[in-house]
Amino acid sequence: MFNSLSDRLTATFKNLRGKGRLTEADVDGTVREIRRALLDADVAVPVVREFTAAVKERALGADVSQALNPGQQVVKIVNEELVTILGGETRRITMAKYGPTVIMLAGLQGAGKTTLAGKLAKHFKSQGHTPLLVACDLQRPNAVKQLQINGERAGVPVYAPHPGVSSEFEEATGDPVVVARNGVSEARQKQFDIVIVDTAGRLGVDAELMKQARDIREAINPQEVFFVIDAMIGQDAVNTALAFQEGVDFTGVVLSKLDGDARGGAALSVASVTGKPVMFASTGENLDDFEVFHPDRMASRILDMGDILTLIEQAERSWDKGEAERMAQKFVDQEDFTLDDFLAQMQQIKKMGSLKKMLGMMPGAAISRQQLEQFDDRQMDRIEAMIRSMTPHERVAPKIINGSRRARIAKGSGVSVSELNQMLVRFGEAQKMMKKLAQGGGMPGMPGGRRPAKGTSNNKKKQKFGNPAKAAQAAQEAANRKTQAPTGAAFGQGIPKDFDPSSMNLPKGFDKFLGK
């Protein structure tokens, strides 16, 4: 979504590097380029004016003129101002003190409200809540059926006493206000703690449908009213948001289709113009393509600083702890890393979602934007097909895979022999790296790695301890280190919150290991 804006801003800041002092002309030129980048991204003009004025005022201040690195100080200012126009702090949902928490969805036709209802339901269910979906969109053909399907996929019940219409030629019957009121009563009676009410899509100028939305709100008195907006509509998002704010008075915004290729002006405009925070972001068609909106993390993504915290949270949600413990124990026992283990680790990564999206959250992703766009997530499916075409013995001992076996495996998995050979070479490199991790408790320079102890050599000089108690303590610490499971992102455990990927010092050619 923000690729074009991110590239423009990154290129602008490159001109500030290495300058020991910034003149007023430097600041004016930088602000001018920022203004152009934001306007090209379809950000609302009033928001652009306010943003660039704040950046220029702060950039000409004492904090920048007296800084040791004024270029980095300007980037810091832009980052802070981006966080401000995106809403400032992350806001959580207001929960009801008594009875169920009622959430009402409103927005234009085709904005993705019904899909979002299923995503919200699954999100709350994963947090231990018991949500209920209420089908109040009785106008759009098969809207009720779609909500029932989403509820089934999310494992959440749907209150739908009225089937709605099945084609555009049918006249809508039934009262959505009554359905909404009865749905909340149903949730209270059966002790559901969250109610998500899906309403009909409407146009901002449609006074009749806007009145219907107001009537539903007055009937159910929701704690939250989410305005669902398509993030691809650009500056027009401002007029639409203002119309809904006047007609329904929403409490928060949800951005849908944030995975699209539009320029992202809606996300940078709505919160600033309406004063209402962006609460969630929908990033795909699957029910798992959904995340809490963090203004500071989104600003970091736009400025190509990455979003490691969201990446870690996704890993913690999807990683199988049992599988992680099994792999950790294998490393403690120094067992060989097999193709079955390789397949299991790859499946864990697939649970986190699109690998392309995850790589895009890494700092500096704009540098390799072209390679990232060419990356094919289906490569992991092909690797899985190759491994599953092998016999159990071949997976444990891949060295026995000779020419005839390779031809059989390639034919069974639908790939060429050369592609199979490349996969086996990459696996061999991974196996060597894992063996080093197991033997040394981690690679030097990587999280959890240890450097060789000082004073050790091939002649194995005898160590002398003057104090027997210290010698016993050192021996015990050495034994504890041997039995300690390795840590790091490869096992989904022990990832520090302030982890900096640039400290990993990855070897050259590591992109070949990833199959790029």
Residue 260: pLDDT above 90?
A: no
For the record, the structure tokens of 145 come out as 């059926």
Q: What's residue 29's pLDDT? A: 85
- Residue carrying the six token digits 């736009």: 302
Q: How far is CA 121 from the centre of its chain?
A: 18
Residue 337 in 3-state DSSP?
coil
Q: Phi-psi region for residue 110, left (φ > 0), alpha (ψ -120 to 50) or beta? A: left
Express each pLDDT in 200-238 by its tens digit: 876 656 777 788 888 899 999 999 999 888 877 766 777
Q: Are 264 and 281 in contact (CB under 8 A)?
A: no
| DSSP 8-state symbol, 277 | P
Express each pLDDT in 44-99 by its tens digit: 888 888 888 888 888 887 666 665 577 777 888 888 888 888 887 788 888 888 88
87-101, 179-193, 280-294, 485-499: which is most confident: 179-193
91-105, 248-262, 276-290, 489-503: which is most confident: 91-105
- What's the rounded Cα separation, in Å, for the pair 347 and 444? 27
Average pLDDT over residues 355-366: 59
Average pLDDT over residues 296-309: 69
- What's the rounded Cα separation, in Å, for the pair 252 and 94? 11
What is the percent of the chain where pLDDT is above 90?
Answer: 15
| DSSP 8-state symbol, 493 | B
Q: What's residue 133's pLDDT? A: 94
Residue 477 in 3-state DSSP?
helix
Exposed / middle / buried, residue 301 (Cβ in 10 Å: 0-12, 13-18, 19+): buried
- What's the rounded Cα separation, in Å, for the pair 405 and 394? 9
Q: Which residues are within 8 A (CB) of 270 and not within 5 positions of it... i.e. 6 or more apart?
A: 229, 237, 238, 241, 253, 255, 276, 278
419-444 burial string, b = 16+ CB within 10 Å, else e?
bbeebbebbeebbebbeebbeebbbe
For the record, the structure tokens of 191 come out as 């002790």
- Catalogue the long-range contacts made by 215-218 (C-beta closer than 8 Å, 24 or more residues apart): 215/177, 216/104, 216/136, 216/176, 216/177, 216/180, 217/104, 217/248, 217/249
